[in-house]
Amino acid sequence: MAEEQDVPLKARVLTEVLPYIKRHRGKTVVIKFGGNAMESEQIREMFASDVVLMRYVGINPVIVHGGGPQITSYMERLSKEVNFIQGHRVTDSETMEIAKMVLVGKVNKEIVSLINRHGTLAMGLSGEDGNLIMAKKRLAPDGSDLGWVGEVESVNRAIIEQLVGFELIPVIASVGSDADGNSYNINADTVAGEVASSLKADKIIYLTNVKGITAQNGLVSRLDDRESRAMLERGDISEGMIPKVESCVKALEAGVNRAHIIDGTAEHALLLEVFTDEGVGTMIVGDLDAD
């Protein structure tokens, strides 16, 4: 009897999903996956299946990942001191080698393997491959030297577009290089925003371990970029959320249609945000689309 009662509900869900499939088919969606959302095997499996489903219905997902907690864990295991200045990891040469080992050699391969297990082919890349991400040195806000920490100068979008054209899912580790071949550890939130901007993606989605942007009244489900900038200026955005919101605003200004910040630890949050009326997190839209 319960199964019979579920039939109308299932039909309504499918009816709700169809317009979103039609709307997003053939569009590019950049997804930033990292941090705490990556630490649970169950969440990683769910993420991979959601991404594959998106690809099967005609959406072109491009994944950018970091791995800060994983880097810290390896540094501690190697008895390497972990230092931060104003929230930025100090990255000397040894730390840079550890970061590359973790991001490119471990985390990237794990994500690619999980996706490939579901029957859709993913291709792992770092920003150093084919000069995908050209970078320059970045200093801390107070001018302190952070070592091999970089910021994005340019993205070679042709490489990503070619992979998408072959129906592959690019999985990009947030490491870049400069013209002299030096490697840089780059904030993955920033890399995702720059990749989305270069591709003029339909959406950029940040998977975090919080529901989205919150205010005194709870979750803010929708903002325009003017409101987002005002919240940043007033200091209403918490420290870990700042690079995400800044990257969202910059991506919208570059032509990305929508930016989303959602709780990647919630069950199938990615699908709920893309394919349902309600969504599950915060959506940021451009000024012209605010109405």
Residue 236, Cβ neighbours under 10 Å: how many? 17
Beta strand residue intervals within 174-239, DSSP E:
175-177, 183-186, 203-208, 214-215, 218-219, 222-224
Domain count, the chain: 1
237: number of CA atoms within 13 Å, CB side? Answer: 20
- Tell me whether residue 222 is in a domain: yes
Tens-digit pLDDT profile for the chain (291 aa)?
Answer: 444 546 566 666 677 788 888 888 999 999 999 766 667 788 888 899 999 999 999 999 999 999 888 999 999 999 999 988 877 889 999 999 999 999 999 999 999 999 999 877 899 999 999 999 999 999 888 888 999 999 999 999 999 999 999 999 999 999 999 999 999 999 999 999 999 999 999 999 999 888 888 877 788 888 888 888 888 888 888 777 888 888 888 899 989 999 999 888 888 888 888 887 667 788 998 864 544
Q: What is the pLDDT of residue 256?
A: 92
- Tell me whether residue 229 is in a domain: yes
- Tell me whether residue 281 is in a domain: yes
- Tell me whether residue 3 is in a domain: no
Burial of 278 (0-12, 13-18, 19+ CB in 10 A): exposed
CATH number for the domain harbouring residue 261 = 3.40.1160.10
- Tell me whether residue 1 is in a domain: no
- Tell me whether residue 147 is in a domain: yes
What is the residue range of 230's domain? 24-289
